[in-house]
């Protein structure tokens, strides 16, 4: 899972990844870009192809 947080004071967004929603690791800013403006509680919809690509690249 990836959690997106806004940087209210500084602007922009910050991402962290987790497998258990208890332990989080930061995602480097160079590793993502956003072409939308997420809101609090937003869900990102992905295609089946994107899902399988994520599983392929992030499965242990």
Q: Who has greater pLDDT, 34 or 46?
A: 46
Q: Are strands 2-6 and 13-17 parallel, antiparallel or unpaired?
A: antiparallel
Percent of the chain with pLDDT over 90: 23
What residue numbers bound the domain in which 15 lies? 2-58
Q: How far is CA 37 from the centre of its chain?
A: 13
Smallest CA-to-CA distance from 34 within 24, 44, 25 is with: 44
Structure confidence at residue 27 (pLDDT) = 93
Give the residue-averaged pLDDT of 9-32. Answer: 87
**Which pLDDT band, with edges at 50, 70 and 90, does 29 fall under?**
confident
Contact assessment for residue 15 and residue 26, using Cβ atoms and an 8 Å cutoff: yes
Number of compact structural domains in the chain: 1
Strand order in the sheet with 13-17: 2-6, 13-17, 25-26
**Which pLDDT band, with edges at 50, 70 and 90, does 49 fall under?**
very high
């Amino acid at each position: 899972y990836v959690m997106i947080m806004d940087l209210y004071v500084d602007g922009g967004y910050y991402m962290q990844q987790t497998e258990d929603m208890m332990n989080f690791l930061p995602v480097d800013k160079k590793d993502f870009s956003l072409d939308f403006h997420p809101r609090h509680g937003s869900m990102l919809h992905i295609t089946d192809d994107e899902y399988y690509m994520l599983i392929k690249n992030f499965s242990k």
